[in-house]
Structure 1
Amino acid sequence: MAENNNNYDESSIKSLDPREHIRLRPGMYIGKLGDGSAPDDGIYVLVKEVVDNSIDEHMMGFGKQIDVTVEDGSVLVKDYGRGIPLGKVVDCVSKINTGAKYDSNAFQKSVGLNGVGTKAVNALSNYFRVSSVRNGEKKVAEFEAGQITNDLPIAKSNEKNGTTIYFKPDNTIFKNYRFLPDYLDDLFWNYAYLNSGLTLKLNQKSYLSKNGLKDLLERKTNAEQIRYPIIHFRGEDIEFAFTHANQYGENYHSFVNGQNTTQGGTHLSAFREAIVKTVRDFFGKNFDAADIRASIVAAVAVRVQEPVFESQTKTKLGSTHIGPDGPTLRTFVNDFVSKVLDDFLHKNTEVAQALLKRIQQSERERKEIAGVKKIANERAKKANLHNKKLRDCRLHFNDKKGEEESKRNTTLFITEGDSASGSITKSRNVQSQAVFSLRGKPLNSFGLTKKVVYENEEFNLLQHALNIEDGIDGLRYNRIVIATDADVDGMHIRLLILTFFLQFFPDLVEKGHIYILETPLFRVRNKKKTIYCYSEEEKQKAVSELGSKPEITRFKGLGEISPDEFGGFIGDDIRLDPVILSEDSNIKDLLSYYMGKNTMDRQKFIINNLRVEKDEVEAEA
């Protein structure tokens, strides 16, 4: 060790060019890498960085349509703006800190201010091609891993003005990646809601919004479940919409300069405060803030000059002012919300009464469970000192310090049974992976009130392990992974856990925190090589590859997989299936169908979908 320290001299100091640094430390530029199973994974950030530039052109008044094609792991983005100035095309996509967005006169309230985005996309792509057309002339350049391979001269062109970028993410950096249609769908709808009049096309599907954030909430809520019509207002540099529904928790969609700030920030804090203040003033009652905001579904968007975000991926706003010479965000949001909402409630007494009833209902529910909540929390605090159900990790998602990328990888595995829990506990990364062990099948919580969360010891300990009792702002783990066997009992347990989250903490699902762990069904090996297979198709491919009758093992349960093997399935190559609610999903109807009392519809579904595993039939024969 001492000898190595003595070798620390001038030769130990290295300087990387920006391209090399992006490839060596991609997390500093695009957040976590991931494989596409999470909405904030790097491949979606790459798409956003390119589309954001086209959006900025539209914001400046150039281009009313953006065409995007995503297929075979590649992305093509074409806009009809002014086109990148031809003499600067290569610099704009390859030189860090080069761009028009430093000139606030050109891009007053842009998302991408750091001159990094497209350069990061270029550096992190196997192949990258940029084409710019301006006034009858065209410039094209091609790159591989950020290095230029083809710098074509400017040529004549009959094409419309605009910029076209094609890229294919580097599969050595984004391993086993895939673009999930649901996440892309959400991304492009958000673009449409925030840019009325802009048409986006993703693989020929059109995205267009006339009513902005009101359209967003209509898509995210069910008309039968909301307590009063959506309240919607637009002002200069601010727009908001909200209503109250019947779900537990608070559900917000927040945006800054078109960027979806999934972790909120100063603008969302100001909005939540403004709603409480305005409602209290209107009714002349000092309602508890939690009662006013309980079951709220809201969206808020602001435009800020030179925004400051807490990370390069711009998921949380840190700016305190609307602009260098403007008021504080808190004052700006409060003044606008209080004025328009107070006027609205005075003019719409039916809506005001419906809002009052929702607040009073939340107040009654809170008081009803106050006693049992106090007792349960005292028990939970004692249990937390030595919680046998939780094998905690060192790093947490809500830690004030620590690298953003590391915190985003924090994971809680929810397991059932001693053997499965033991395998994961022994093979996990103690820095960022925790394990919560269930005792048998949890209670079916469908149709029950939140009182059961405190009365049921297992549920209470789980909500405390996650730190979500008062909302998900303090969530301790970014990924909550349900790890159960793939048999009938395992599937039932999975449904019961999902029911718990959907019933009481739906925003965990809405915000993309819930996953199902994929574990291999088969191990195929010979003396030279072992291949783990997650499907029958993968098994057949492995058998063909290894040839001459390899040994095939079928894993019936997680407990059968040794800790050494398990380590390979929950490490860098972990396979996770995100739990995604489609836009037409109604949580109440969904839970009623799967977890309510037996219905004829469900009986018919089970009968029509009965099947027998082929290998089980062969075994019996």
Structure 2
Amino acid sequence: MNDELQTLAPPAHGYTEDSIRSLDWREHIRLRPGMYIGKLGDGSAYDDGIYVLVKEVIDNCIDEHVMGYGRTIEVKVSESKVQVRDYGRGIPLGKVVDVVSKINTGGKYDSKVFQKSVGLNGVGTKAVNALSSHFLVQSVRDGQLKAAEFSQGQLAADPRPQKTSQRNGTLISFTPDESIFRSYRFIPEFLESQIRNYCYLNAGLAIYFNGQKYVSENGLRDLLEHKTDADALRYPIIHLKGEDIELALTHGNDYGEEYYSFVNGQYTTQGGTHLAAFREAVVKAVREFFQRQNKKEFDAADIRASIIGAISVRVQEPVFESQTKTKLGSINMGPDGPTVRGFIIDFVKEKLDNFLSVNATVAEALRKRIEQSERERKDMAGVKKLANQRAKKANLHNRKLRDCRFHLGENVKDGAEKEALTTLFITEGDSASGSITKSRNVELEAVFSLRGKPLNCFGLKKKIVYENEELNLLQHALNIEEGIEGLRYNRVVIATDADVDGMHIRLLLLTFFLQFFPDLVRNGHVYILETPLFRVRNKKETIYCYSESEKQAAMFKLGRNPEVTRFKGLGEISPDEFGRFIGENIKLEPVILQSDRSIQQVLAYYMGKNTPARQEFIIDNLRLEKDLLISDTLPEPEIALA
């Protein structure tokens, strides 16, 4: 009996004083990087950790500018190295090492020095230092230069100050550590967007990114002008400014709502209290204005339909919901200030009402846009109800969707890291979906199988989404009917064959998303799956190749007569092999919507009727197969696969 009790007793794990460890700041950041910079990633998503590192360094330069020191910032980014130089006051020379290597050390604890700063917890540059294989900090103050070098957060060189003729300011150079950020790469479009936002929020500030100058004179109005097509706007951009607040808004013709929100110069991609207040305030102000004018109360959804807006506020001691500062949690503007909600609502109601009262033509154009949205909503109501009933029945036995266990926004165990990996693969046909289904991670990866080519949605009304069973089921699988707030998967991956039909299906899906759910693309959720074109192997080694040049290199490496297999379709790749391409080593190309043209202009060129411009391009770029080079055959794309 005693022997049985001993067998059933839980094993001893040696929990003693020796089990308790104290990590220094560097060890803790490297052990738990997600706490400091969010998800790691490889640079294929705009919120991956390598971009957060760049942001943390530039934020300090912006804070110097906001306090009145320095009007120029220089940013240089190569494949792996980042260098940022400002012309502010420079770090006090005696604290250069401490500021980048001692947690809870910095100037932003003194509210008199940095009153409305982005970073207030003294962690940013320390995290960059700890997560870099090489980190250099250099400060110039009053003819003296002090520098220090680090490796993975450990001090490597600390020379004494020396005389210099350089201008005051701070230079930081770093190389992200490849042992943490595996196979990373910087995508220029993400960095350019980040830098443009800094300029819009700090009118007059000049940022040089790899030699290219970025500057804004009109703040958020310039932002909306860059993000929109003037010909597609229903009325000129409304631009309102006050103390600690700036906003711009207009209405276009695209579906959904498009917002850009900022706090103390920080782009809050997930919004927060200020964005919620802005959306509420616009509805209140517009509704009350037209109630007085027309004695009619418009629905909130009709007022916000197709709206394009931007808001920036400055808050004392802001509280964010994570170290990466993507969502504002502050309730008040400052310790003794009004609430964020009350401050924004009061400002918008007064200023927007006054603007509409003075600008009758803008008010009339706004009223017509709202009434158009109202007619479209009512016209679609009957079809929408029937389609949703069909979708509910189909969901009970939806053969198109092989779902996963966990979804975005469900507080997945291990938090943001796991939620970032929630993925829906959209495949063509049963063979491809079968291979992915058998090799996927059933906890985080789902598969939606298409039947043939989907409908070309260009120029169609949203009513067609509900009338087309396949598109309606895809909409429900993603849970984006009412917007992307309820999106069930962080990554929507288009997985089609690398042939003409596969490319066509890819374009048709992109057209569907851009036409009806552009926020899905704007917010960086849509990707293209890269799968190998060739398998080169001998008896000892197998190499998978994604291009002709990689195939040639692999054949040279493996020597005489290697076996070469060309994968013509995803269905030809066995489930065992597929598991290698959708696991940790997955290669995804983000779909980036560049803002030089509007969505409708892009879709009209690629997916509209055979326009003369497209015909001329095809004729001018006809090549023999042996002469084909990708760089010669594609126009400068407005939708870029980075």
Same fold (TM over 0.5): yes
Q: Deviations over 1:148-181 (max 9, x none)?
A: 1111112222211110001111122112211111
Judge conservation of contact 2:228–2:597 (CA < 8 Å) in 1: no
Give me the whole-angstrom Cα distance separating, in 2, the residues matched to 1:491 and 1:534: 16
Judge conservation of contact 2:412–2:418 (CA < 8 Å) in 1: no
1:361 aligns to 2:368 (yes or no)? no
1:212-227 correspondence to structure 2 within 5 Å: 212-227=219-234
| Residue of 500, 510, 517 corresponding to 2:512 | 500
How far is 1:17 from its partner? 1.8
CA spacing shift, 1:615–1:595, aligned 2, 3 Å = closer
**Equivalent residue letter for 1:551:** E
How far is 1:457 from its partner? 0.9
Give me the whole-angstrom Cα distance separating, in 1, the residues matched to 2:398 and 2:314: 45
1:258 aligns to 2:269 (yes or no)? no
1:123 aligns to 2:130 (yes or no)? yes
The match for 1:298 is 309
Give me the whole-angstrom Cα distance separating, in 2, the residues matched to 1:87 and 1:4: 55
The match for 1:378 is 389
Give me the whole-angstrom Cα distance separating, in 1, the residues matched to 2:436 and 2:28: 34
Q: Deviations over 1:352-400 (max 9, x none)?
A: 0000000000000000010010111122222223322111222222225
| Residue of 543, 547, 556 corresponding to 1:544 | 556
Three-state SS of the structure 2 residue aligned to 1:110 is coil
Give me the whole-angstrom Cα distance separating, in 2, the residues matched to 1:388 and 1:531: 35
**Equivalent residue letter for 2:171:** T
Three-state SS of the structure 2 residue aligned to 1:578 is strand
Give me the whole-angstrom Cα distance separating, in 2, the residues matched to 1:15 and 1:566: 42
1:101 aligns to 2:113 (yes or no)? no
| Residue of 593, 597, 600 corresponding to 1:581 | 593
CA spacing shift, 1:153–1:62, aligned 2, 3 Å = same
Give me the whole-angstrom Cα distance separating, in 1, the residues matched to 2:380 and 2:542: 54
**Equivalent residue letter for 1:553:** T
Judge conservation of contact 2:79–2:186 (CA < 8 Å) in 1: no
Three-state SS of the structure 2 residue aligned to 1:325 is coil
How far is 1:50 from its partner? 0.4
CA spacing shift, 1:612–1:436, aligned 2, 3 Å = farther
Three-state SS of the structure 1 residue aligned to 2:288 is helix
| Residue of 230, 253, 256 corresponding to 2:237 | 230
Unaligned runs of 5+ in 1: 617-621
340-349 vs 403-412, which moves further: 403-412
How far is 1:91 from its partner? 1.1
The match for 1:9 is 15
Three-state SS of the structure 2 residue aligned to 1:423 is helix
CA spacing shift, 1:107–1:451, aligned 2, 3 Å = same
1:277-426 correspondence to structure 2 within 5 Å: 277-284=284-291, 285-400=296-411, 402=413, 403-426=415-438
The match for 2:33 is 26
**Equivalent residue letter for 2:276:** S
How far is 1:27 from its partner? 1.3
| Residue of 190, 193, 196 corresponding to 2:203 | 196
Three-state SS of the structure 2 residue aligned to 1:291 is helix
Give me the whole-angstrom Cα distance separating, in 2, the residues matched to 1:511 and 1:124: 26
Unaligned runs of 5+ in 2: 1-6, 629-642
Q: Deviations over 1:538-564 (max 9, x none)?
A: 222222222223222111111111111
Three-state SS of the structure 1 residue aligned to 2:231 is coil
| Residue of 506, 518, 524 corresponding to 2:536 | 524
1:512 aligns to 2:518 (yes or no)? no
1:169-208 correspondence to structure 2 within 5 Å: 169-208=176-215
Judge conservation of contact 2:537–2:562 (CA < 8 Å) in 1: yes
Give me the whole-angstrom Cα distance separating, in 2, the residues matched to 1:581 and 1:546: 40
The match for 2:637 is none
530-539 vs 324-333, which moves further: 530-539
Give me the whole-angstrom Cα distance separating, in 2, the residues matched to 1:3 and 1:170: 45
How far is 1:607 from its partner? 3.8
How far is 1:78 from its partner? 0.4
The match for 2:146 is 139
Q: Deviations over 1:452-506 (max 9, x none)?
A: 0111111111111111111111111111110100101100100110010111111
Three-state SS of the structure 2 residue aligned to 1:6 is coil
The match for 1:463 is 475
The match for 1:572 is 584
The match for 2:97 is 90
491-500 vs 572-581, which moves further: 572-581
The match for 1:595 is 607
Q: Deviations over 1:500-556 (max 9, x none)?
A: 011111111111111111111111222222221111122222222222232221111
Three-state SS of the structure 1 residue aligned to 2:593 is coil
Q: Deviations over 1:23-65 (max 9, x none)?
A: 1221111111111111101111110000000111111111110
Give me the whole-angstrom Cα distance separating, in 2, the residues matched to 1:51 and 1:308: 20
Give me the whole-angstrom Cα distance separating, in 2, the residues matched to 1:544 and 1:135: 58
Three-state SS of the structure 2 residue aligned to 1:446 is coil
CA spacing shift, 1:520–1:203, aligned 2, 3 Å = same
State the identity %: 70
Give me the whole-angstrom Cα distance separating, in 2, the residues matched to 1:387 and 1:316: 35
Q: Deviations over 1:378-437 (max 9, x none)?
A: 222222233221112222222256512221222111111111111111111222211111
Three-state SS of the structure 1 residue aligned to 2:53 is helix
470-479 vs 602-611, which moves further: 602-611
How far is 1:3 from its partner? 9.7
1:50 aligns to 2:57 (yes or no)? yes
Q: Deviations over 1:565-621 (max 9, x none)?
A: 1111111221111111222122212212221222333233334444565599xxxxx
**Equivalent residue letter for 2:472:** N
How far is 1:227 from its partner? 0.2
Give me the whole-angstrom Cα distance separating, in 1, the residues matched to 2:428 and 2:21: 49
The match for 2:632 is none
The match for 1:431 is 443
**Equivalent residue letter for 1:251:** E
Give me the whole-angstrom Cα distance separating, in 1, the residues matched to 2:429 and 2:595: 35
CA spacing shift, 1:26–1:603, aligned 2, 3 Å = same
Give me the whole-angstrom Cα distance separating, in 2, the residues matched to 1:534 and 1:182: 23
**Equivalent residue letter for 1:262:** T
The match for 1:74 is 81
The match for 1:619 is none
1:473 aligns to 2:485 (yes or no)? yes
CA spacing shift, 1:417–1:37, aligned 2, 3 Å = same
CA spacing shift, 1:615–1:335, aligned 2, 3 Å = closer
Give me the whole-angstrom Cα distance separating, in 1, the residues matched to 2:570 and 2:620: 29
1:562 aligns to 2:569 (yes or no)? no
584-593 vs 299-308, which moves further: 584-593
CA RMSD of aligned residues (A): 1.7
CA spacing shift, 1:378–1:496, aligned 2, 3 Å = same
Give me the whole-angstrom Cα distance separating, in 2, the residues matched to 1:135 and 1:363: 63
Give me the whole-angstrom Cα distance separating, in 2, the residues matched to 1:238 and 1:615: 56
Give me the whole-angstrom Cα distance separating, in 2, the residues matched to 1:533 and 1:94: 42
How far is 1:2 from its partner? 8.3
CA spacing shift, 1:614–1:555, aligned 2, 3 Å = farther
